[in-house]
Amino acid sequence: MSGALTRLQWLALALTVHLVMVAGEFFEPFNVTYDHRALIIDGNRRMLISAGIHYPRATPQMWPDLIAKSKEGGADVIQTYVFWSGHEPVREQYNFEGRYDIVKFVKLVGSSGLYLHLRIGPYVCAEWNFGGFPLWLRDVPGIEFRTDNAPFKEEMQRFVKKIVDLMLEEMLFSWQGGPIIMLQIENEYGNMESSYGQRGKDYVKWAATMAIGLGAGVPWVMCKQVDAPEFVIDACNGYYCDGFKPNSYKKPVLWTENWDGWYTIWGGRLPHRPVEDLAFAVARFFQRGGSFQNYYMFFGGTNFGRTSGGPNYITSYDYDAPLDEYGLLRQPKWGHLKDLHAAIKLCEPALVAVDSPQYIKLGPMQEAHVYNSEGQTLTWSGNNSRCSAFLANIDEHKAVSVTFLGQAYTLPPWSVSILPDCRNVAFNTAKVGAQTSIKTVAFDLPQSTNVYVPRRLMIQNEVPHISEAWMTIKEPIGAWNENNFTAQGILEHLHVTKDRSDYLWYITRVYVSDDDISYWEESEVTPVLTIESMRDLVRIFVNGQLTGSAAGRWVKVVQPVQLVQGYNDLVLLSQTVGLQNYGAFFEKDGAGFRGQINLTGFKNGDMDLSKSLWTYQIGLKGEFLEIYAVDEHEKAGWTDLTPDAIPSIFSWYKTHFDAPDGTDPVVLNLGSMGKGQAWVNGHHIGRYWTKVAPKNGCQRTCDYRGPYNSGKCATNCGQPTQIWYHVPRSWLQTSNNLLVMFEETGGNPFEISINTRSTRTICGRVSESHYPPLRMWSNPDFISGKLSINDTTPEMQLQCEDGHTISSIEFASYGNPQGSCQRFSRGNCHAPKSKSVVAQACQGRNSCVIGISNAVFGGDPCRGGVKTLAVEARCKPASSIGSLAME
């Protein structure tokens, strides 16, 4: 049994295989250890940038591109959680296929030359359904999650060992020649520990000891765990982690989650974290002694199917990450971070050579940290790569001039300047040189995909709707098959559904006498249904009619109802919208109803329905017959849907559509629908809900200065939170794709459109005073001192997405242009050649570089003042430009 091998035995096995294979599959086998300063990789301390990507939030077809774009953006490491619920949906029935093919993912990371940080958990939080735990775990007799509980520990150990053994078998640990350099056990348990008393403390020790005992042979971390045992590294999570100190001087400062954005709830605004602040946080971290920093998320992706946690997390997990939900570069975020990473890498030799930096106070809110491997006397002696410094201005309001080693530096507010040689500025976190990209959906709609496009606008832009031929079928209200059962009282929702569906029907009958009717008429009383407490959503049907709905987390529902004499059918549809993924004892939270359900206002007093007989029906008929499946859908009794049909609740819709041409990511616009779920060719693309964000709470401009929180810089107020849904290309065929939707509230399928998303507009704005391109630092003349930083020219780089080229220059001005992307205008200083110079350099190319100097633009357009170049350009798919040229 492979799992029983000790680390030594594995090493022996690896050595044997090594002889045959010459080396591990991806790297020469190397060891990973650590000291107080950094992780030590193959004997060398390293400063590491890590990119968070959760493999099931993308398709395997997307993985290579996501990993490549992370690497190009400067990542050394890819970080992911392991998703237990996806790997073991049924106890001891494992799934490592498709989006859950973790071995393939890890191997792709390795083959691209990156390392991997595997956070096994197996509790992961992650806005993932049930925090990553499979639902069956709840039903293990005597279980209590995440505490010193024997059944839980047994299950947890079994799964963690399963994953470690799998990685061992596949030779994926560093010492086997694989990419895995670090693991994680548990997740932020420190936030919950006190709720569990002594048992919590014992659990921490057990989890750490158990993990180490699995013989993985690389370091383990526990994030947010101040009492992590000495052999496990406690790491920081948050928006800022500079100043974080692990619980022992022997451990390095690791930042496992730098939240570069935030998640979103249905009916919420869209969060945005400005890149100037994000870069500030990262630079401060390395400035103050940090050595490993991971972006949570570098790519957030999509919660396909019903994987999103909750309550109420949306299908998109875009996270405002440097790579957007579809894997496209989010600019200037991606580009500015790329520059930051390059600057930090220039400092790496000095950073790793010094045990701790020298601190110099530069002003009341300004400070320098100097990494000088030459000793503590700081006298300038030419370009010296063994001295690197970070100068910070933590003043939120003002730019400040400081003197450092006899030189003057101006530091913008809330910024860090990075000086790889302790003299020249390679990068400042507040000075963005990277381009901006504006994403649009196809047909050149003027909005980004985050903006709701009303029907009127779409007609003007002639967006073709997905289909004129829709079919429909009604979903029965209440019981639909003989497998339903009747029980007395209110059963807990998850106990019944086991999360096989969001939906659980509670069905009962209420008798109303003549006396009640006359009492209501005389006293003008209406009977009221009261549910003491409910989550996440309930729909109330009386005699087949939808009477009311309510949403919330453990809220009271009070619903007046119209009843008739005799028997009345009362149907409550309880719905989950993503299971709880956070909080102590969250497995005990359950779902559905709590407390009493009463009908009040009767002549003879209230009716306590909590003690009545209820019939239980799990899920939807269409769901269980899989009428969304390619092989099954034709068996259902669909009828044609006519355009004048009244929008109808609880209906299924289906159509077929052709895939958009090209390779751009495909999105479905469900802005005309209400709430439901959608499938394409049998793949569950997720829940949809056109719930609108509050009207207020969005700022017109986003000020990067000062500490970030998820409410700052939000957008999308008064608009549906999500209308665009990702349909991965690999789920589509050229034509005749099956789209099936289940709609609860009654939308209009005729207005659904299918589009592609891409960057159509790119902008740059760089001034003469910007720092030179980072590649200058590897120029031999610069290294030897022949070339000074003042002799070099800053540059603007513009790039369209892969497969796209710059088709036109909409605006270009070298001088003192005003405004920002899509709103540039000329100032009173303008070089007449601006547009022709830029067009010459860029048009017809995927990317271009333009020097920012008078020489490039045919002389100084006006004396004095710093000149700036602003450009707005269009990108088009390379093929479409080709065909245009042929016409």
Question: Which residues are known to be catalytic?
Answer: 188, 257
Residue nearer to ligand GAL on the CB measure, 168 or 208: 208
Give 126 or 180: the residue with its C-beta nearer to ligand GAL.
Answer: 126
Judged by beta carbon, residue 186 or residue 276, the one nearer ligand GAL is 186
Residue 187 beta carbon to ligand GAL: minimum distance, rounded to whole angstroms: 5
DSSP E strand stretches across 455-612: 470-474, 485-488, 503-512, 528-542, 545-560, 566-575, 592-600, 607-608
Q: Which residues, 6 or more positions from 369, have their beta carbon under 8 angstroms from its beta carbon?
A: 287, 288, 289, 357, 358, 359, 360, 389, 390, 392
- State how far the Cα of 344 lies from the Cα of 49, in Å rounded to an integer: 9
Smaller CB separation from ligand GAL, 237 or 655? 237
Residue 395 near residue 415, CB atoms below 8 Å = no
Give the number of other CB atoms < 10 A from CB of residue 487: 11
Minimum CB–partner distance for residue 579 and ligand GAL (Å): 14
Number of residues that bind ligand GAL (CB under 6 A): 9
**Binding of ligand GAL at residue 187 (CB under 6 A)?**
yes
Cβ-based nearer residue to ligand GAL, 263 or 292: 263
Least distance (Å) from ligand GAL to the CB of residue 776?
37
Task: Please tell me the distance from the alpha carbon of residue 671 to that of residue 722, in angstroms, as a whole number.
Answer: 8
Task: Please state the closest distance from residue 754 (CB atom) to ligand GAL, in A.
Answer: 30
- Spatial separation of the C-alpha atoms in residues 415 and 396, rounded to whole Å: 9
- CB nearer to ligand GAL: pick between 585 and 624: 585
State the nearest-atom distance from the C-beta of 221 to ligand GAL, in Å: 12
Among 32, 39, 108, 125, the residue binding ligand GAL under the rule CB under 6 A is: 125
**Distance in angstroms (rounded) separating the CA atoms of residues 608 and 536:** 22
Q: Which residues of 197-218 are buried (b: 16+ CB within 10 A; e: fewer)?
A: eeebeebbebbbeebbebbbbb
Stretch of residues binding ligand GAL (CB under 6 A), selected from 84-92, 118-126, 195-203, 406-414: 118-126
Q: State the minimum distance, in angstroms, from the CB of residue 684 to ligand GAL.
A: 22
Within 13 Å and on the Cβ side, how many CA atoms surround 105?
Answer: 27
450, 698 contact by CB (below 8 A): no
Cβ proximity to ligand GAL, 278 vs 432, nearer residue: 278
Q: Rounded distance, CA 487 to CA 842, Å? A: 72
In terms of Cα–Cα distance, which of 91, 214, 221 is closest to 143?
91
Nearer to ligand GAL, 236 or 806 (CB): 236
Residue 784 to residue 763: CA distance in whole angstroms: 35
Q: Is 324 exposed, middle or buried (0-12, 13-18, 19+ CB in 10 A)?
A: buried
Cβ-contact 712, 702 below 8 angstroms: yes
Binding piece for ligand GAL, criterion CB under 6 A, among 125-133, 454-462, 549-557, 690-698: 125-133
Binding-site member from 63, 189, 255, 263 for ligand GAL (CB under 6 A): 263
What are the residues facing 207 on neighbouring strands? none
Whether the Cβ atoms of residue 787 and residue 838 lie closer than 8 Å to each other: no
303 binding ligand GAL? (CB under 6 A): no
Closest CA to 578 of 135, 136, 260: 135
Q: How far is CA 740 from the centre of its chain?
A: 26
Query: Exposed, middle or buried, 785 (CB in 10 Å: 0-12/13-18/19+)?
Result: exposed
- Would the CA dihedral through 425, 427, 432, 436 be positive or negative? positive
Quote the least distance from Cβ 126 to ligand GAL, whole Å: 4
Q: Which is nearer to ligand GAL, 26 or 81 (CB)?
A: 81
Instruction: Work out how close the CB of 57 gets to ligand GAL at its nearest, in angstroms, rounded to a whole number.
Output: 12
Part in contact with ligand GAL (CB under 6 A); list of ranges 9-17, 123-131, 246-254, 497-505: 123-131
Which stretch of DSSP H or E encloses residue 460? Answer: helix 455-460
**What CA–CA distance (Å, rounded) separates 515 from 89?**
53
> Could you tell me how many residues make up the chain?
887
Query: For residues 392 and 368, what is the distance between their CA atoms, to the nearest angstrom?
Result: 6
| Cβ-based nearer residue to ligand GAL, 133 or 263 | 263
**The one-letter amino acid at 7:** R
CA distance 432 to 64: 28
Peptide bond into 660 cis (omega under 30): no
In the shown chain, the binding pattern of residues 75 to 114 toward ligand GAL, with x for contact by CB under 6 A and - for none, equals ----------------------------------------
Which of 165, 188, 277, 475 forms a contact with ligand GAL (CB under 6 A)? 188
Indicate which single residue of 76, 88, 127, 148 sits in contact with ligand GAL (rule: CB under 6 A). 127
Q: Which of positions 382-411 make contact with ligand GAL (CB under 6 A)?
A: none
SS3 state at 791 = helix
In the complex, the smallest distance separating the C-beta of residue 237 from ligand GAL, rounded to whole angstroms, is: 6
Distance in angstroms (rounded) separating the CA atoms of residues 127 and 567: 43
Structure tokens at 106: 């890890």
- Give the nearest distance from C-beta 774 to ligand GAL in angstroms: 31
Q: Which of 190, 66, 85, 163 is nearest to 128 (CA)?
A: 85
Q: Which is nearer to ligand GAL, 127 or 339 (CB)?
A: 127
Residues within window 411-470 making contact with ligand GAL, judged by CB under 6 A: none
* Stretch of residues binding ligand GAL (CB under 6 A), selected from 124-132, 540-548, 638-646, 780-788: 124-132
Q: Which stretch binds ligand GAL (CB under 6 A): 121-129, 441-449, 565-573, 768-776?
A: 121-129
Q: Give the distance from CA 237 to its chain's centroid.
A: 15
Residues in contact with ligand GAL, shown as a per-residue x/- string from 219 to 258 under the rule CB under 6 A: ------------------x-------------------x-
737 belongs to the binding site for ligand GAL (CB under 6 A): no
- We find the least distance from the C-beta atom of residue 709 to ligand GAL, in angstroms, to be 13
Closest residue to ligand GAL, Cβ-based? 125
CA 6 to chain CA mean position, Å: 37
Choose the stretch contacting ligand GAL; rule: CB under 6 A; options: 10-18, 68-76, 89-97, 119-127.
Answer: 119-127
Cβ distance to ligand GAL smaller for residue 124 or 490: 124
Bridge partners (DSSP) of residue 49 are: 293
CB of 125 to ligand GAL, least distance (A): 3
Paired tokens of 100: 């859950």
Q: Which is nearer to ligand GAL, 124 or 875 (CB)?
A: 124
- Contact window for ligand GAL (CB under 6 A) among 122-130, 398-406, 479-487, 876-884: 122-130
Which residues would be at the binding site for ligand GAL (CB under 6 A)?
124-127, 187-188, 237, 257, 263
